[in-house]
């Protein structure tokens, strides 16, 4: 039988096969109670050495008036706490801003909905439109009521442009704006 030439790819396959066997053998040997007991006792020794070294380090640091690892960690913790507080404040601020934005959006949506409802109502029943509108303007609070009436009238294509109510409302708003401007400039 002709032997296959040994190239690098074959070597990789062969290596992989032996590696697997070797690893299984090692794991099998390690998965043993005596190894576990040995590891346990060595771990205890290791802990003792670590503790001793840490103690020495702390003593030396104290004598030399140097901060220990623990001291630096405590400072870092303070920094972390500060960062956490800032992060919480940032989150609260974002939440408030988001709430504000959603509120505005909701109001806008509500208004749009109300206007379109009114428009459809008036469209369906053009006879009652002026009476209903007039009654609403009277019941609304002073400024916002008039503004709303103005917008409603503007949005309503069935209302004639020369409507007295519309002109009065417009004049009122302009006057209020003028007054405000004068107040600010003075």
Partner 1 sequence: MTNIPRKLNFRSLWNKDDLKVGQTPRSAIWKRNKATLWYYPAAAKSKKHQTPLFLVYSLVNQAYILDLGPGSSMIEGFTKQGYDVYMLDFGSPRYEDKHLTLGHYVIDYIQTGVQRALTHSSAAEITVIGYCLGGTLAVMYAALANEPIKNLVLFAAPIDFSKVPYMDNWHKALKEGDLKVDELIDEYGVVPARVMELFFRIVTGPVNVSPYLALLGRSDDQKYVERWRRFDKWVKDHVPFAGTALKELIHDLVIANKLIKNKLVIRKNKVNLKKIKANLFVVSTEGDQLIPEEMIRPLMDKVGSKDKTYKRVKGGHVTLAIKGGIPDFLTDWLESRT
| Site residues for partner 1 per CB under 8 A | 6-9, 11-12, 15-16, 19, 22-23, 26-27, 30-33, 36-37, 39-40, 43-44, 46-47, 50-51, 54, 69, 72-74, 76-77, 80, 83-84, 87, 91, 94, 98
Q: Minimum CB separation from partner 1 for residue 46, in Å?
A: 7
Q: Which is nearer to partner 1, 18 or 184 (CB)?
A: 18
HSE of 102, CA atoms in CB hemisphere, 13 A = 6
Q: Minimum CB separation from partner 1 for residue 89, in Å?
A: 13
Q: Which is nearer to partner 1, 44 or 123 (CB)?
A: 44
Q: Which is nearer to partner 1, 104 or 117 (CB)?
A: 104
Burial class (CB in 10 A: 0-12, 13-18, 19+), 133: buried
List the structure tokens of 61: 């640091």
Q: Minimum CB separation from partner 1 for residue 99, in Å?
A: 12
The helix/strand/coil state of 137 is helix
Neighbours of 40 (CB within 10 A): 9
Q: Which is nearer to partner 1, 36 or 158 (CB)?
A: 36
List the structure tokens of 23: 């690893």
Q: From CA 173, how far away is CA 175, in angstroms rounded?
A: 5
Q: From CA 42, how far away is CA 34, in angstroms rounded?
A: 12
């Amino acid at each position: 039988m002709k032997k296959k030439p040994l190239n690098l790819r074959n070597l990789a396959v062969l290596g992989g096969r032996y590696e697997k066997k070797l690893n299984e053998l090692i794991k099998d040997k390690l998965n043993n109670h005596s190894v576990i007991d040995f590891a346990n006792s060595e771990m205890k020794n290791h802990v003792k050495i670590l503790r001793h070294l840490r103690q020495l380090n702390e003593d030396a640091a104290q004598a030399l008036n140097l901060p220990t690892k623990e001291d630096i960690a405590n400072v870092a913790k303070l920094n972390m706490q500060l960062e956490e507080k800032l992060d919480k404040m940032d989150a609260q601020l974002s939440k408030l801003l988001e709430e504000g934005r959603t509120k505005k959006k909701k109001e806008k949506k509500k208004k749009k909905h109300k206007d379109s409802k009114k428009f459809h109502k008036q469209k369906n029943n053009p006879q009652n439109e002026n009476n209903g509108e007039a009654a609403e303007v009277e019941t609304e609070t002073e400024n916002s009521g008039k503004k709303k009436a103005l917008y409603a009238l503007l949005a309503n294509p069935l209302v004639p442009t020369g409507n007295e109510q519309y002109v009065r409302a417009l004049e009122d708003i302009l006057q209020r704006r003028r007054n405000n401007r004068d107040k600010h400039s003075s």
